[in-house]
Amino acid sequence: MVTLIILLNLAGTVLMMNTFTGEGISMQIKAPEKTEGGSSAEIEIEFSKGNVDGFARFHQELPNGIKATPVYPLDASFTFQDNTISVIWLQLPPEETFSLRYELHFDDRLKGDLKLDGTISFIHENQRKSVHAEETTLTLTPAPGVDESQLVDLEEADRLLPDSKPEPERVTADKPQPPDTPDKPQPTDTPDKAQPTAPPQISPEDERLLNPLEKEEGVYYRVQISAGRQTINFREYFKRRNIDREVKTEIDEGWIKYTIGSYYIYRDARDSRNSLWSRTPINDAFVTAYNNGNRITVQEALMITNQKWYK
């Protein structure tokens, strides 16, 4: 029997439920009918995966003034950042039915109706699919003791309250690292998808990059070994660092990035990266992904190709 989700500070609260069934998967959002501003509430999402397997990602956007923390994210990576819950399963649980549970923490000035929905993306019959949950409403009543003039309706929270942007929090059963981030910390001169506060100005000379990366068809992977804000004598630079592979250059988001290899299997790119870690002084290399020459996240590449992630 599915465990009833109760309001943390009010026992016996009636649950509101909504179910949406898509091709090969379904999910049901369960939440308290109401709670108070300044309190917390536990949410449960029950998934039935049908014949879907492999990688999947769930995300849910929240208004300002609400934070989320995981309760039981299963073998998944739970992140709350930029007012968005993101949950990644590198491999969906083997059970036909499984649940995701998390807590929402409300600013004491909030009131109004919170519309909870969400989307799960996955691969089905070699195609990327998404299922959207129907809205479930949780009503926030005014918090005791808060002056009426300070109350903020949820519909105006994005305008009247500061953004809720805490540091990402990932909680997993075995701490697997999400596949779009390097497995080792990145120094400041080797950003992945970094966007500097003031993007560097690329001079006309720099735009004429030596050995530029050419676009390939389909989804493929490369290994990024460095990045900088201006051109360097990279052949000599990487030769001194025991790089014996051809290094390609590209400009991405204001950075000149240096990559090697071209792999259509993620595991091959991972192995190349691990080899660099072990035999060269470059211990911050990481895998990048492309689709028809355009950078995408490794998660997206894995979903498109229905490949497995390897640590």
Mean pLDDT by 10 residues, the chain (311 residues): 33 40 76 93 92 87 92 78 87 89 92 94 79 93 89 86 48 37 36 37 54 91 89 84 92 88 93 91 91 90 84 74
How distant, in Å, are the alpha carbons of 216, 263, 274 from that of 220? 8, 5, 18
Radius of gyration of the chain, Cα coordinates, nearest whole angstrom: 23
pTM for this model (two decimals): 0.53
Residue-level pLDDT at 122? 86
Angle at 69 between CA 65 and CA 71, to 5 degrees: 145
Read off the tokens for 101.
């549970």
Contact, 67 vs 104, CB < 8 A?
yes
The amino acid present at 235, given as its one-letter code, is R
Residue-level pLDDT at 74? 65
Contact, 100 vs 88, CB < 8 A?
no
Residue-level pLDDT at 208? 57
Domains of the chain and any CATH numbers? 15-160 (2.60.40.690), 204-305 (3.30.70)
Instruction: Give residues with Cβ within 8 angstroms of 125, minimum separation 6.
Output: none
Parallel, antiparallel or unpaired: strands 219-228 and 127-141: unpaired
Residue-level pLDDT at 174? 34
How distant, in Å, are the alpha carbons of 76, 230, 305 from that of 125? 23, 44, 11
Residue-level pLDDT at 63? 93
Place of tokens 């999947």: 56
Read off the tokens for 165.
């942007």
Residue-level pLDDT at 306? 83
Read off the tokens for 274.
């691990």
DSSP 197-220: SSPPPPPHHHHS-SSBPPP-SSEE
